[in-house]
Amino acid sequence: MSDSRYFQIDDRGDVLVLRVLVDCLDRSVANDFGADLLSMMDRFSGGRIVIDLSRIQKISAPVLAKLMAFDKRLSADGGSMLLCGAVPEVQQIISLAWPGRWTDEPTTEADAIAALSGARPTVNG
């Protein structure tokens, strides 16, 4: 799977990990960032996705709106998403703009992958 402009993509089978590659997600990149997110829907529809925010130092409201819309569409398609790794300042912005979102988010990528892998329903024969 090839990488996108904004993400390094790591397909772990039942979980897709998207590591954000840039440190500033401001208003000027919101539409392109959103388009990259939507392309993940086409590639991994209905799946479980971890978005690692550890590189981000600045995030804007329009980018958060794209993340919220992506989460809503992914959930409607039967998928789920976890965010992880955000620095405290970015966590605070996410918490203010997206109440309740950051409360239970795993801190590390490994924890997020484990949480989503463990949440996968078991299908019998």
Please report which helix (H) or strand (E) contains residue 94, including its range. helix 88-97
Would you give the DSSP letter of residue 66? H
Domain assignment of residue 55, given as a range: 7-118
| Most confidently predicted of 13-22, 37-46, 95-104, 112-121 | 13-22
49 is written with which tokens? 């996705």
Q: What are 23-41's pLDDT values in tens digits?
A: 999 999 999 999 998 888 7
pLDDT the model gives residue 108: 86
Residue 35 placed within a domain = yes
Residue 30 placed within a domain = yes
21 is written with which tokens? 């590659």
Would you give the DSSP letter of residue 28? G
pLDDT the model gives residue 83: 92
CATH code of the domain in which 20 resides: 3.30.750.24
Q: Confirm whether pTM is higher than 0.75.
A: yes
Residue 104 placed within a domain = yes
Residue 1 placed within a domain = no
Residue from 2, 69, 3, 1 nearest 31 by CA: 69
Residue 123 placed within a domain = no
Q: What are 63-87's pLDDT values in tens digits?
A: 999 999 999 998 898 888 999 999 9
* Domains held by the chain: number: 1
Residue 22 placed within a domain = yes
